[in-house]
Structure 1
Amino acid sequence: MTDTQSDPTSPTRSVSLLGLGDMGAAFARAWLAAGYSVTVWNRTASRADALVAEGATRAESAAHAVAANTLVVTCLLDDASVGEALESADLTGKDLVDVTTGSPAEARARAAWAQARGARFLSGGIMAVPPMVGQPEAGGYVFYSGSRELFEARREALAVPVGTRYVGADAGHAALQDVALLSAMYGAFAGITHAFALVRGEDEIALKEFAPLLTEWVVSMSGAVGQMAEQLESGDHTSGVVSNLAMQVAGIKTFVGTAHEQGVSPELLTPYFDLMRRRVESGHGTEGGTGLVDLLRSGGGSADR
């Protein structure tokens, strides 16, 4: 009996990968290092040269790459690129896993598109950067949503590059949670950028000494995330609040004034301050910041439900 765990010719130990940018190439190398048979394709064929030298098989076209294996992974520029690459490919009986960055609506449409062509489909949202791939200790993972049957069947292969987190049958949920977490990241980076701008240029404040203070503060503030979730689920935006919006809004002039004193634009903070003011003006000054979620979902209009 063939040991499928060590036989690279086994269907469960082979994969076709379309897209060899930094992330796609990192995925390919992780599978190669784990003993998988990897067929690769890229629109610019020379991007495959190094991987072929490392043991991958080059496909002459995207359609040939799809034909080579049952498991097909796309890691391309955008959703339109996926459609173009697979336009002439026969997807009948294929397991199509798309880790291309896209929107929830694009993922849902691509799932219907793939299913109409006879393929099982998973959409993936990569929560990692290329250096984290193949490094389990780095903590990277991919959100997957869509066919649970496909996820369970291919869980071992998908877990080779980075960890896996299945988030439901709705194909759009991987992209949604990917974008939600990345949005939080950009919001945090906005605050970090503003903080460095304030202290930069002060001779007696060394940025390397300020950095750990900023890190500690950001980490300590992350504890508010769980409380926000509880308040949103209960509908009670005042429970456990220790610094209400009315008090915070009263302090806005200090933050804006300090920015101007330091020669720093407050533009990274003012949109959030504007939301806080609107929420207070609509009669919610005793709340914490959780009610701003409702204000955003209402399009910035009335925050009342």
Structure 2
Amino acid sequence: MTDQYSSARDTAVTVIGLGPMGSALAHTLLGKGRSLTVWNRTPGKADGLVAEGAHRAATVADAVAASPVTIVCLNDYATMYQVFESAGALSGHALVNLNSGTPAEARTAAVWAAERDLDYLDGAIMVPPALIGYDGSALLYSGARDVLDRHREILADLGDPRHLGADPGLAVLFNTALLGMMYATINGFLHAAALTDSAGVPAAEFAEIALGWFMPVVLDPASLAEQAPNLDKGVYPGDQGTMQMNLNALEHIARTSVEQGVHPAHPQLMKQLAEQAIAQGHGTENYFALFEILKNPGAETPLRAMRPNIRSGS
């Protein structure tokens, strides 16, 4: 796509969607000296930004036309299509879509943009609104690398722009994977705190041990990073502990949860996955062999064996 913008317009950027995150993006861009145009379905949400110097576009088409690049921060892909339905021809501009959704939705959106002759990047914001614009705040992007390179200076105002690859679905895939890890970690802490709470131990007392010693030593990120090459190679030496040994521990966690009246579903699921790994021949390998089960859930053990038994704790 030829460059149809003068150097005077290189600082121009449009933000569509002024929820908490979109507003944070817009305020940051204004603070960086960008010429900002904004549009929101509820026009009043732009009042504060307009007072600070932003231009309020009357329509989506006007908003996109005002800048070489438009950053979209709406609820989801369906909302984006709805908002742009009446925009008409937008050829020759770039859209950077920071909605949330699935990889398939991102790939469909890239096709939708290409049909309208729009450059397109799909992205994911990995920090809360308060950290937008700070060094080290990561924003993930996927799609055509040249689109990111062309608008890198503007996107860098928001945080560290990391390009993951040409597949438009990679940014939301990474986002989902990282959020899944976050929720699993939080759920693990909450379940553990609930176990000790069942004996009258304050969460603050438990946290001092769990977060002050156990997690930094046992779940050190560096030690997990050391295992990553083995995941790629499918090598899981069991000389320091086998899946069968870990199953014993998981059985104790599940039984204790039942005994203490704490919700047992979380440890029971982990136990069932370990049982499936053993049933598929990983019993003498280490716990990281569970990666093979998570990658290939199709080779499941019979449904009856996978169904939790709340009464027995199995």
- CA deviations on 1:61-114 (whole Å, 9 max, x unpaired) are 212211111111100000011111122333211011001112111111111111
The match for 1:162 is 159
- CA deviations on 1:44-74 (whole Å, 9 max, x unpaired) are 1111111111221111121221111111110
Using the TM superposition, give the Cα deviation of residue 297 of structure 1 relative to its aligned residue in structure 2, in angstroms.
2.7
The match for 1:4 is none
Please state whether the residue corresponding to 1:17 is helix, strand or coil. Answer: strand
Using the TM superposition, give the Cα deviation of residue 208 of structure 1 relative to its aligned residue in structure 2, in angstroms.
2.4
Using the TM superposition, give the Cα deviation of residue 262 of structure 1 relative to its aligned residue in structure 2, in angstroms.
2.6
- Structure 1 194/179 Cα, relative in aligned 2: closer, same or farther at 3 Å? same
Further displaced range: 157-166 or 87-96? 87-96
The match for 2:281 is 283
The match for 1:112 is 111
The answer on whether the counterparts of 2:250 and 2:270 sit within 8 Å (CA) in structure 1 is no
- Does residue 1:103 correspond to 2:102, yes or no? yes
* Distance (whole Å) between structure 1 residues aligned to residue 188 and residue 260 of structure 2: 16
Please state whether the residue corresponding to 1:165 is helix, strand or coil. Answer: strand
* Distance (whole Å) between structure 1 residues aligned to residue 284 and residue 254 of structure 2: 22
Using the TM superposition, give the Cα deviation of residue 196 of structure 1 relative to its aligned residue in structure 2, in angstroms.
1.3
The match for 1:53 is 51
The match for 2:149 is 152
Using the TM superposition, give the Cα deviation of residue 282 of structure 1 relative to its aligned residue in structure 2, in angstroms.
2.4
The answer on whether the counterparts of 1:279 and 1:292 sit within 8 Å (CA) in structure 2 is yes
The answer on whether the counterparts of 1:141 and 1:162 sit within 8 Å (CA) in structure 2 is yes
* Distance (whole Å) between structure 2 residues aligned to residue 109 and residue 87 of structure 1: 15
Q: Which amino acid aligns with 1:34?
A: K
Q: Please, which of 176, 188, 193 is the counterpart of residue 179 of structure 1?
A: 176
Q: Which amino acid aligns with 1:255?
A: I
The match for 2:31 is 33
- Structure 1 224/270 Cα, relative in aligned 2: closer, same or farther at 3 Å? farther
Please state whether the residue corresponding to 1:149 is helix, strand or coil. Answer: helix
> What percent of counterpart residues are identical?
37
How many residue pairs were aligned?
291
- CA deviations on 1:224-259 (whole Å, 9 max, x unpaired) are 4324421122121226x5221100112233212322
Pairs within 5 Å for 1:1-305: 10-89=8-87, 90-136=89-135, 139-200=136-197, 202-203=199-200, 205-216=201-212, 217-220=214-217, 221=219, 222-238=221-237, 242-302=240-300
Please state whether the residue corresponding to 2:151 is helix, strand or coil. Answer: helix
Using the TM superposition, give the Cα deviation of residue 143 of structure 1 relative to its aligned residue in structure 2, in angstroms.
0.6
TM-score (norm 2): 0.87
* Unpaired stretches in structure 2, ≥5 consecutive residues: 1-6, 302-314
The match for 2:305 is none
- Structure 1 135/290 Cα, relative in aligned 2: closer, same or farther at 3 Å? same
* Distance (whole Å) between structure 1 residues aligned to residue 10 and residue 131 of structure 2: 24
- CA deviations on 1:22-57 (whole Å, 9 max, x unpaired) are 000000000001111111111111111111112211
* Distance (whole Å) between structure 1 residues aligned to residue 224 and residue 93 of structure 2: 40
* Distance (whole Å) between structure 2 residues aligned to residue 281 and residue 201 of structure 1: 33
Please state whether the residue corresponding to 1:270 is helix, strand or coil. Answer: helix
* Distance (whole Å) between structure 2 residues aligned to residue 227 and residue 271 of structure 1: 26
The answer on whether the counterparts of 2:234 and 2:289 sit within 8 Å (CA) in structure 1 is no
- CA deviations on 1:11-30 (whole Å, 9 max, x unpaired) are 22111111001000000000
* Unpaired stretches in structure 1, ≥5 consecutive residues: 1-8
Using the TM superposition, give the Cα deviation of residue 213 of structure 1 relative to its aligned residue in structure 2, in angstroms.
2.5
* Distance (whole Å) between structure 1 residues aligned to residue 154 and residue 115 of structure 2: 25
* Distance (whole Å) between structure 2 residues aligned to residue 155 and residue 52 of structure 1: 25
Using the TM superposition, give the Cα deviation of residue 202 of structure 1 relative to its aligned residue in structure 2, in angstroms.
4.3
* Distance (whole Å) between structure 2 residues aligned to residue 235 and residue 296 of structure 1: 13
The match for 2:304 is none
* Distance (whole Å) between structure 2 residues aligned to residue 178 and residue 279 of structure 1: 27
* Distance (whole Å) between structure 2 residues aligned to residue 252 and residue 104 of structure 1: 33
* Distance (whole Å) between structure 2 residues aligned to residue 273 and residue 10 of structure 1: 61
* Distance (whole Å) between structure 1 residues aligned to residue 237 and residue 90 of structure 2: 53
